[in-house]
Amino acid sequence: MEKGGVGVRVLALCFLSLLHLAAAGRVYDVLRYGAKGNGRTDDSRAFLNAWRDVCADRDNPTLLIPYRARFLVKGLTFQGKCSSSVTVKIDGDIVAPEWFWTNEYVSLMAFHNVNRLTVVGGGEIDGKGKIWWDCFNRKEGKCVNRPNIMSFAFCNDLTLRGIALRDSPSKHLTFFASARISMSRLRISAPGDSPNTDGMLIALCKHVVVSSSTIGVGDDCVAIGSNTTNVTVSNVKCGPGHGFSIGSLGGDSSPATVKRVHFLNSTLTNTTVGVRIKTWMSGGTGQVRNVMFKHINFTSVRKPIQIDQYYCPARNCQNRTSSLTIENVEFAHLHGSSSDELATELLCSKYHPCRGIVMRDVHFTWNGVAPAKSACFNVLSSRSYGRVLPSLNCVAG
């Protein structure tokens, strides 16, 4: 009787496995479409041909980039709408060309209007960014429009899990006009001095979750752009880079709104900025509100906390402060060391002061031992609770 029970359980497990395989649908291997996978031959056409069949499949297909192969591609656009949900399984590696392959602002791999998309796997995508960074630093015109590695536009119900991206010519991941995005276990890396190599930029999106990832780049680890709501970033290790940023906002005349954004339970190490909100000194209208930075540890971070409503990188802005408003921002349980004596900086607009700033148990030292300093002006209706060091003269205790 016991042996029979074991046999039944084995048969049940086999049956469930078969059901899972059936539910996953057909697998479309790019090698079967002529990809060479040798890292030298351009496999772009094979990828696109495979995608054509994947996108037309009505039964939850998978596009497979197989293990132990290295695929050279450039400027791929995977276009929807597709007939069902789609999985892209990146088990092998994908590389960009080691030459200037575009003079347009494009992505190595772009997904457009693809809903119910899942991108998973243990492979790596290498943007081969060094030639682009060197060219950009020399101020050569052909490098103005540097490509990103991956972009997603008008893609709802999107999941990214487990993949690695490195050395993008510009941003590693961009998300535009998409909703219900989940990202986890990502590994994103580039040298700390690589120009404008954000880990990810999220703009015009809503309902986004980023978790359990490691990001070390030359610009913002995570940047939140205009008209974005309901974002949670948690358990992210950031460094090197420019930390976690909202903005810059208001660089043009269109309204810019960011609401309900939470950065939680993360670490920042050797970054040039910690957590910040930045709006242009002269620019559009809009608001940033209901933002939380909570349970974040800082190690040798230059300027751990910053609100800057005087952002003007080219230093040629009109002499007036931002017309965007910043309200209801909480900094809670933030601890660590600042590599700059000025650890906390709240520089708010004279005409649109910050309101509802809350400091709760915030403690920074300068280089780990010395007292740090703060700068604070044009902040109204704000409070501090618990131990707040350095103290802020415009936030009531």
DSSP character at residue 129: -
**Could you give the CA distance from residue 262 to residue 158 in angstroms, rounded to a whole number?**
20
Question: Parallel, antiparallel, or unpaired for β 76-79 and 370-371?
Answer: unpaired
DSSP character at residue 143: G
219 is a catalytic site residue = yes
Catalytic residue, chosen from 43, 219, 308, 340, is: 219
Catalytic residue, chosen from 167, 198, 242, 308, is: 242
**Could you give the CA distance from residue 203 to residue 177 in angstroms, rounded to a whole number?**
7
Please answer whether residues 322 and 279 qualify as being in contact, where contact means their C-beta atoms are separated by less than 8 angstroms.
yes
**Could you give the CA distance from residue 100 to residue 128 in angstroms, rounded to a whole number?**
10
244 strand-pairing partners: 222, 275
Tally the C-alpha atoms within 13 A of residue 134's C-alpha that lie toward its C-beta.
7
ω before 390 within 30° of 0 (cis)? yes
Q: What b/e readout covers 34-66, taking b as 16+ CB neighbours within 10 angstroms?
A: ebbbeeeeebbebbbbbbeebbebeebbbbbbb
From residue 74, give the alpha-carbon distance in Å to each of 58, 71, 99, 147, 318: 27, 10, 11, 10, 40
Would you list the DSSP string of 297-309?
EEEEESSSEEEEE
What single-letter amino acid sits at 241? G
Tokens of 240: 């090197």
Would you list the DSSP string of 58-89?
SS--EEEE-SS-EEE--SEEEE---SS-EEEE
Torsional sign, CA 41, 44, 50, 54: positive
**Could you give the CA distance from residue 76 to residue 93 in angstroms, rounded to a whole number?**
15
112 is a catalytic site residue = no
- Annotated catalytic residues are 219, 242
